[in-house]
Amino acid sequence: MLRKIIKIDEELCNGCGLCASACHEGAIAIKDGKAKLIRDDYCDGLGNCLPVCPTGAITFEEREAAAYDEEAVKKHIEAQKPSPTHGGCPGSMARTIQRENPAVGEGAPRPAHGGCPGSMARAIHREEQAAPRMAAAAPAAQSELMQWPVQIKLVPLQAPYFDGANLLIAADCTAYAYSNFHSDFIRNHVTLIGCPKLDAGDYAEKLTEILKLNRIRSVKVVRMQVPCCGGLEDAVKRALLASGKMIPWQVVVISTDGEIVDM
C-alpha cells in the first residue's frame, strides 16, 4: 500500500540511538553504527523519532510499504523484554561478588545480604613516565566490582544486590578512558554498563523496571563527551521519570583524553 513512512539518511546519521529510544514500536535499531528501519510494518508513521534526531537524518516519505501491523509490533516488543529468570549462558548468571575488607562509606550499599568515543580516530599523547619493572611493581589495585553480570542487557530485573544500592550506569568506554574508574566510580556501587550506539533496543524500559522493583538509593550516570553517549543519559532520565520514584541522580562526563569535564 502507498503510505507515509520514515526515511533515514545514513550519511547524516551519527548513530546516537536517540531515535531508537523514541520509537515505542521498536521499528528502529542501531546496526553497524547507523540507525535503520528494521521493518516497514513496525513503523506507525507518526514520527516520534523525528524531533529527537540531532542531525536531521530522519524525514518522512510516501512510498509503497507494508501496512502498520499492531499485533506484529506487540510480539516484537514482548520478545525484546528481558527474562526475569536466568537461562542460557552460564556467564550471565547473577551473583554478588564478595571481597575482603571492602571499603564501604557512609550511605553506601553493603554487599548484598541475601557513544563509544566518536568515530574520529586520534592519538592521545601523554607525558612519558618511567615504568617500574614488573617484579618491583606495586601490588595491583583491587577490583571494586560488587556484582555480576554488568551489561544492562544481561542483568536481572531483581537481585539481592540491588536492595539499597547506589546504582552506577556507565558507558562502556568510560572505564577505558578514566584511569581510576574502579576507585572513583565503581567502589560501593552496583554497576551497569552499556553503549547505545552498539546495542540495539531501548535501555529505558529495563532500567525503569529495575528502579520500580528494587530499593535504589541513588543513580550516577558516567558517560563520554561524545554525542552517542547522549542516548544513555536520555534513557536513564526517562527511566527515572517512568519509575515514579524520587531518586537522587547525577551525571558525570568524561573527555576522550580521560578527564572529568562535567559533573
User: Consecutive sets of 10 residues in the chain, 263 residues long: mean pLDDT of each?
Assistant: 91 86 87 89 87 87 91 84 53 60 43 41 49 57 89 90 94 94 94 89 92 95 92 94 93 94 80
Which cell numbers in the block locate residue 51?
524531533
Which cell numbers in the block locate residue 155?
542483568
Question: What's the pLDDT at 114?
Answer: 41
How do beta strands 58-64 and 95-96 pair? unpaired
Question: What's the pLDDT at 23?
Answer: 87
Omega into 248 within 30° of 0, i.e. cis?
A: no
Question: What's the pLDDT at 208?
Answer: 95
Question: What's the pLDDT at 24?
Answer: 84
Cα distance between residue 106 and residue 249, in whole Å: 17
Question: What's the pLDDT at 112?
Answer: 40
With 0-12 / 13-18 / 19 or more C-beta atoms within 10 angstroms meaning exposed / middle / buried, residue 196 is: buried
Question: What's the pLDDT at 136?
Answer: 55
Full-model pTM: 0.55
Which cell numbers in the block locate residue 25?
514500536
Question: What's the pLDDT at 81?
Answer: 63
